[in-house]
Structure 1
Amino acid sequence: MNQHNNLRPASLFLMLFLLLPWQQVFAERIEGLRIWPAPDHTRLVFDLSGPTQHRVFMLEGPDRLVIDISNVRLSTDLNRTSLDRTPIRRIRHAERNGTDLRVVLDLDREIQPRSFLLRPNEQYGDRLVVDLVMPDQTRVERAPPRETLPREQRQIIIAIDPGHGGEDPGAIGPAGTLEKHVVWGISQHLAKLINDDPAFEAVLTRTGDYYVGLRQRVELARKARADLFLSVHADAYRTAQPRGSSVYVLSQRGASSESARWLADSENRADLIGGVEGVLTLGDKDDILAGVLVDLSMTATLSESMKAGSRVLTNMGQVNRLHRRNVEQAGFLVLKSPDMPSMLIEAGFISNPQEEQRLRDPSYQRQLGAQIAKAVKEYFRENPPHNSILAASSNGQLTRYTIRRGDTLSEIARRNGVDIRELREINNLNGDTIRVGQTLRIPSS
């Protein structure tokens, strides 16, 4: 009897243990799935209730990606997320070994998978991130070296970098406004105004709501041979009082550390310095000379960044108060290109309720974009890059002519005293076909 009584508590505990759902004892949960399509990859983010382990591998015939997640149960519908603009045809899943989950992605093209776990932050808990990289897709084709373009033909390239995106919302205002949405609106208006001028071309580092790594943003701008890099953000602070716009360029300390990184990187040692690709490289220089060249390039780039940044800051003061009257310096990663003037623009403090309300207003976003565009164009009119349309125009070497009914290319060339082959070259014409209303650039005779 005493022996039986001694066993009763243990037996009761075992019965209660067995009655509990196994999931609550052993498993984490998948609480959601978010998919972010980008031009060159698609990101899947599994929201988890806690840390877990996983592995991914590919299967062929047909192409499939298998994602095995250990000790987890599914508490969401994986098929509620749109698969538009992704390489995924269908998502399937099944339990494995009683405790694990296998997710299978049926694919319609070749991809290269990469995956990693993220720890909790202010916005999200534990996450499993799976990137489907499409090697045959590219965001920006590498532009030809500037020096190889026909004279007076090159547009000035402005790289516009809308901060954050996709999984990264940036700062969040008191009313729930996301920084990534504000800077996307400003960047779109800015890009349109830049592209409206035939002497300029805008290149966006992201073209939708998806995440781009910081160094990749700079690399996209450098591939496009950008003459200026503008990273657009909205500031935030732990209290609601600060407000106003700011402009940052790279600090001297940041420039020095980045010079060292470039010299340590074997690929960068053979890359361009000062924007003159194929003419001045580091690959054949000793360490001392290479260090001098990088430092000189960094110093010149920083000087131009300060000049252009001052213009932008002054113009932004026309529509918003300034947080600081002068351009500030900091070691932001996106500013660290030795051959491309760069600035980080803080449009305002999204953490200030009044400024948040203005920043989310599309008309205010247009005003900010207009002032930034105006400042950029003013800077380059005073400092036109060599071999650009603007340089030729500012030197009086280029005029424009709008084609009328009855005009022929040979007659236009004869009237202006220029060679017809040069006229074709400077206007990117493959033949002699022209159309009424078309504008031609006419070099001086």
Structure 2
Amino acid sequence: MSDPLTPVVRNRRTVLKAGATLLLSVFAPLPAYAAQILAVRVWPADDYTRVTLENDSELKTTHFMVKDPERMVVDIEGLELNPTLKGLVAKIQSNDPYIKQVRVGQNRPNVVRLVFDLKEEIKPQVFTLAPAGAYKHRLIFDLYPVKEVDPIAAMIEEGNWTSGAPQPTAPGLPPQPAQPPIAVQPTPQAQLEALKPDIKAEPRAELREQVKTAEAQVRPPSKGGKADKIERIITIALDPGHGGEDPGASGRNGSREKDIVLSIAKRLKGKLEAIPNIRVMLTRDGDYFVPLGKRVEKARKVQADLFVSIHADAFVQPTARGSSVFALSEKGASSSAARWLADKENEADTIGGVNVRSHDRQLASVLLDLSTTAQINDSLKLGKSVLAEIGGINRLHKGSVEQAGFAVLKAPDIPSILIETAFISNPEEEAKLRDENYQNQMADAIVKGIRTYFARNPPLARNRLT
């Protein structure tokens, strides 16, 4: 006789086995997911070379340096080789200042190894960036020279000040005609020195009166006086906005702000350097990213007399048009549009990619919060002179200099303006921005504005001419 409980027991065992199988399937290790490299980009420059791997998830890396010859070895976990990553080899240019070549291989399962063969010893920064703008996750390799590029030494090597002879300053740009020099206001000491030879021939009473007047209130030198001959080199920092990982705004026909403004800046540089005793420093002279704070730092290192940042803005409505000039504001933006634009421009570090671990935010904050009322007043004077000239070649978006908290204008001791040359988002103005003739006209207008500013506000002679 069969046991009546047997079917029940069998059914229970069947259920238990099925449950166990289900649990094992749930907790069994899943096959590792390999991240996908979506794009590779290389940005060589004298300042540093940046290599970017854009991917669909955050990557974990380790790296180390090898001597004799100089190499940097990078292991990337959770990655399988794909054609996009293999394409990195062909991205390295022969004129890259720091990378000779790169080798890519599958070091072990789920680990890809990159070997950078270097031209000299470098200080690498390897970091990741969260998705920003049009980019997904990015793995960044910034290769800096052990000895940083000195902007002053670079300017001396390039011979960036002239004796008035026409000279080209960029490939493809014609030489600029020589222009008359900009007058320099002597220091009080220089003016007193200039008076001495003439004072000797004066009667004693007049001599005392003249010296007393000169000491109490320095007067501009008279025409033909020796003080008029005082000269010094004037340094102007030109800042083409965006660059590298940060393309800036884009036009309907594919124009990129970073390309347009670099072209205008190079034309402007050539025209300014045709003026005797003027030298120009570009914060970037190629397609690479420069953080906002670094742009200010470069200008201060060369003791710039002026800082001019060049942009081509965009708006959500393609009908927006016109050129604008902006100065810094301590008390908030002069309009909601100015505030919106400043916020957009200040996002450049997020889009371009700053290594937060090496970026001293506190130091940057101290530097950028030292801006003085005098600097802003001088910036407004400069902006007004430039705006008046730009109005002769293009419609103005607003007839006065606007103000907002642009990070790139916060050098505490340099009159600084930001010029929006036109709206790249407007198809008609995009066509203008692409036109060489318009770029030259814009550069000419800025030069005239700068000359007008210096005519009304002559730069002081320095005790040590540089």
CA distance in 2, matches of 1:137, 1:119: 28
TM-score (norm 1): 0.71
Which of 280, 285, 301 is the equivalent residue of 1:223? Answer: 301
Aligned to 1:362: 436
Conservation of the 8 A alpha-carbon contact between 1:249 and 1:302: yes
Higher strand share: 1
- Residues 245-260 of structure 1: pairs in structure 2 closer than 5 A: 245-253=323-331
CA 102–87 in structure 1, closer or farther in 2 if over 3 Å, else same: same
Alpha-carbon distance in structure 2 between the residues aligned to 1:86 and 1:127: 23
Over residues 354-394 of structure 1, what are the superposed CA-to-partner deviations in whole Å (9 max), with x where a residue is unaligned? Answer: 11111111221111111011110121122111117xxxxxx
Structure 1 position 110 matched with structure 2 position 137: no
Letter in 2 for 1:247: V
* Residue 95 (structure 1) aligns with: 106
How far 1:317 sits from its partner (Å)? 0.8
Q: 2:59–2:77: 8 Å Cα contact kept in structure 1?
A: yes
| Aligned partner of 1:170 among 248, 253, 268 | 248
The answer for unaligned runs of 5 or more in structure 2 is 1-9, 157-185, 191-226, 334-361
Does 2:67 align with 1:60? yes
Cα distance in structure 2, aligned partners of 1:71 and 1:347:
46
| d(CA) in 2 for partners of 1:301, 1:97 | 58
- Write the letter of the residue equivalent to 1:81: K
Pick the aligned partner of 2:233 from 155, 160, 164.
155
Q: Deviations over 1:7-42 (max 9, x none)?
A: 8xx79x98xx99x9x6xx511022332111111210
Q: Distance in 2 between matches of 1:71 and 1:58?
A: 22
- Cα distance in structure 2, aligned partners of 1:82 and 1:63: 16
| Alignment map for 1:15-414 (pairs within 5 Å) | 26-75=33-82, 76=84, 77=86, 78-83=88-93, 84-141=95-152, 152-253=230-331, 265=363, 298-387=372-461
SS in 2 for 1:235: coil
Aligned partner of 1:277 in structure 2 is none
- 1:72-114 superposed Cα distances (whole Å, 9 cap, x missing partner): 1222222121332231122112224411211111112000000
Instruction: Work out the CA distance in 1 between the residues paired with 2:455 and 2:415.
Output: 16
- Matched pairs, number: 349
Code of the residue aligned with 2:412 in structure 1: it is P
Structure 2 CA distance for partners of 1:265 and 1:94, relative to 1, 3 Å: closer
Please give the per-residue CA displacement for 1:420-442, whole angstroms capped at 9, x wherever unaligned. xxxxx99x9xxxxxxxxxxxxxx
**Residues 246-255 or 59-68, more deviating:** 246-255
1:199 Cα deviation after fit: 3.3
Give how far 1:254 is off.
6.7
Q: Distance in 2 between matches of 1:194 and 1:157?
A: 10
Percent pairwise identity = 41
| Structure 1 letter corresponding to 2:450 | V
Aligned 8 A contact 1:38 1:210 in 2:
yes
Paired amino acid for 2:408: V
Larger radius of gyration: 2
1:240 and 1:177 mapped to 2: Cα distance? 14
Uncovered stretches (5+) of structure 1, i.e. residues with no partner: 256-263, 272-290, 389-424, 429-445
4+ residue runs of structure 1 moved beyond 6 angstroms? 146-151, 266-269
> RMSD across aligned C-alpha pairs, in angstroms?
3.5
